[in-house]
Amino acid sequence: MTRIGITGHSNLSADSAELVRKALVDALEDYTEGGLVGISCLARGADQLFAEEVLDLGGQLEVVLPSADYREAKVGPEARGGFDRLLVRAHHVRYMSLTAGRQAYEEANEAVLGGVDLLFAVWDGQPSGGGGGTADAVRLATERGIPVNVIWPEGARRG
C-alpha cells in the first residue's frame, strides 16, 4: 500500500481548482494498484481536492486535523458541508493537541510526514507566509529524504 500525503495552497483561484484536480488524478492513478492511502489535513483547496480524488479512486483517507477546534476555528460556515462529507468518509482521524494556529499546522505537517512514502505538493514554488505552510512541508520532506511530487499545472494560480 502506498501512503501519500498532501500539502498545498488553500487559496487556489476558482479557475485553478479543476486544473489542479485533473493533475492530482493523473498523479494518483500511478498509485492505485496495490492500495492507496491518502493523508490530508482537509484544509480547503489542495488538501480537499486531493482527499476527494483519493476516495473517488477507491483509496483510503486518513485525516490529520491540526487541532480539536479546527472545524470551528478555521472552516467557514459555507465550507463545512464539504469538510464534513470528507471527514465522515475518513478511515482514520487524528487530532493534534494544540489549538488552531501556526504551531498546530507545524505539528500537523510533522504527523503527515511521519506516515508517508511520498508527498504531493500543490505548490507554486513560492515561500510560505509562516511556519506550517506548503514550502515548509516541502523543505521538511526533502530534508528527510521523502520524495516530493510538485503539482502545479500550467495556468494554475492562487486566488
**Average pLDDT rounded to a whole number, residues 52-63:** 98
Residues facing residue 120 across a β-bridge: 6, 149
Q: 87-107, pLDDT tens digit by residue?
A: 999 999 999 987 777 888 889
Any domain includes 74 = yes
Look at residue 95 and tell me if it is in a domain.
Answer: yes
Report if residue 126 sits inside a domain: yes
pLDDT at 138 over 80: yes
Q: What is the DSSP string of 30-44?
A: GG-TT-EEEEE---T
Question: What is the per-residue pLDDT across 28-40, written as a single tens digit (0 to 9) for each?
Answer: 999 999 899 999 9
- Residue 129 is predicted with a pLDDT of 74
Q: What integer pLDDT is reported at residue 113 of this predicted model?
A: 96
Contacts of 13 (CB under 8 A, 6+ apart): 156, 157, 158, 159
Residue 99 domain boundaries: 2-151
140 within some domain: yes
Can you name the residues that pair with 38 across neighbouring β-strands? Answer: 4, 61
Instruction: Name the domain count of the chain.
Output: 1
**Residue 124, all three cell numbers:** 507554486
What pLDDT score does 32 carry? 92
On the question of pLDDT at 47 being above 90, the answer is: yes
pLDDT > 70 in the chain, percent: 99
Is 7 inside a domain boundary? yes
The domain spanning residue 50 has which CATH number?
3.40.50.450
Is residue 85 situated within a structural domain?
yes
pLDDT recorded at residue 36: 97
Q: What percent of the chain has pLDDT over 90?
A: 81
Domain membership flag for residue 125: yes
First-to-final CA distance of the chain: 35
Domain assignment of residue 158, yes or no: no
